[in-house]
Amino acid sequence: MQEILARRWEEIERCLAGDAALAATVMMGGLLESLFLARINRTSNRKAIFTAKGSPKDKKTGNPLPLSDWSLMHYIEVSHELRWITKSAKEVGGVLREFRNYIHPHKEFTDSVAVTISDAEMFWSLTKSMTKQVLASTALPPL
């Protein structure tokens, strides 16, 4: 996974250099999802993860959904709840998540918003900051 994430990191940088703002933004969201999942997979006791308020639940049973059904929003919520990322990273991460959804042409058309290279560069700063926070959290004792 580390090799894949490193390749994605480099590809994001190439997208930014090539003025491919939307592509870079979408890739940042995917990179963060994978990073959060990798952090979860390094956790031996996952009880706190699946019992967190932000953990998605099955509407019928109330049981936690499998990780394969989580979205970036869920990873961000739970990561903040478990102190892997700060409140500001959580809040701004939600903006990245929303802008990543402009991959859907209808959303871009409806909202009349296009992701600019300035937006993508801002999201890149956030992505790097969140990455540092998640990696540093592996040194924290499990909750």
Task: Write the pLDDT tens digit of every residue in 97-109.
Answer: 999 999 999 999 9
Q: What is the pLDDT of residues 45-83, one digit of tens each?
A: 899 999 999 999 999 999 999 999 999 999 999 999 999
Residue 67 and residue 74 in contact, taking contact as beta carbons nearer than 8 Å: no
Distance CA 126, CA 52 (A): 24
Q: Where are the domains of the chain?
A: 2-137
